[in-house]
Amino acid sequence: MATVTVAFTEVQKLIREKLVSAGISEDQAGKIADILIHADLRGVNSHGALRTEHYMKRLKAGGINPTPDISFNQTGPVTGVVDGDDGFGHVVADIAMKHAIQMAKENGVGMVTAMNSSHCGALSYFVQEATEQQLIGIAMTHTDKIVVPFGGRESFLGTNPIAYGVPAKSEKPFILDMATSNVALGKILQHKEEGKAIPEGWGVDKNGASVTNPSDVVSLMPFGGPKGSGLSMIVDIFSGLLAGMAFGPHINPMYEELEKKRKLGHYFCVINPSFFTDAENFLEQMDRMIQEIRDVPAGEGFSQVLVPGEIEQKNEERNRKQGVQLAETTYEYLKNQ
């Protein structure tokens, strides 16, 4: 599949215009566009502009509320719940994270669940919001079933991603954003869109056999066997059950029944290091940790040890200057207003 390189500001503008044309407010459309372009800038195209067409289809079918009445109920000094009223998950999640940040500033910790939400995009965006204020951010969200539990043949779990963001003093923040499956479903869809084969171990067919044709994928595998399977359950508990939402096979699917509201849940936690230790020393020690990890002698086939998120940060620096790479079909869709 052919690709094109486009200035990120143009892609951001096209996404925003597409959403506004469908009845989404300028503020909400701007936030959604910010989060999608964040993913494309980092080279995580599976969570970027590619998703716009799907969102538009679900919006048109009635599966997303274009004018939600999003509310926040602070249930304690460091806890709260956001009700997304079935709006765009990007907006719902951003509101939840901002409330968690505020509570962490005031009381050391902030924990917020979000309910009645939808797909919220790359979690790295939200934990990065915390690091920009020298706070630690944690984010989780569940998804509909697509991953087989360890030892199983049929899917039960979602890709159920989890993200951590930790600030440093002079180094860029440590950002770990990962699915609990071997790979995010979006990467399978991206390879399918681009006509590329997928590596062994990414997806399995109806019989549980590994396949390389993305069109043959029925389920994904958890990373690390029972470890990934267990972490996936944790994400479902924190972002699903704790938010009063469904889990695993009971979650409304993303790419089917587009007229149904997703009713997704998210979990956000923000920690203020200054309530636990000397904040300046914490940031300096993070710098030291990152620098010393880089200094570890590289193993065979590697030129240097990198910390999680470093490749994506380098991608963003380059793509802000050179433009983001999109599937040509995605770019043409965005331009067709």
pLDDT band at 2 (very low <50, low <70, confident <90, very high): confident
Q: What is the predicted pLDDT for the residue at 209? A: 86
Two structure tokens written together for 112: 């917020």
Quick: pLDDT tens for 6-36. Answer: 999 999 999 999 999 999 999 999 999 999 9
Q: What is the predicted pLDDT for the residue at 141? A: 98
The answer to whether residues 262 and 93 touch, using CB atoms and an 8 Å cutoff, is no
Q: Specify the range with the lowest mean pLDDT, choosing from 68-82, 106-120, 188-202.
A: 188-202
Catalytic residues: 119
Quick: pLDDT tens for 143-201. Answer: 999 999 988 888 999 999 999 999 999 999 999 999 999 887 778 888 887 889 999 88
**Encoded amino acid at 287, one letter:** D
Q: What is the predicted pLDDT for the residue at 186? A: 74
DSSP, res 212: S
pTM: 0.94
**Encoded amino acid at 236, one letter:** D
Residues 60 and 91: their CA atoms lie apart, in Å, by 18
Q: Measure CA of the first residue to CA of the last residue in the chain; give whole Å.
A: 22
Burial class (CB in 10 A: 0-12, 13-18, 19+), 138: buried
Two structure tokens written together for 314: 């380098």
The answer to whether residues 231 and 248 touch, using CB atoms and an 8 Å cutoff, is no
Quick: pLDDT tens for 195-248. Answer: 899 998 888 898 888 899 999 999 999 999 899 999 999 999 999 999 999 999
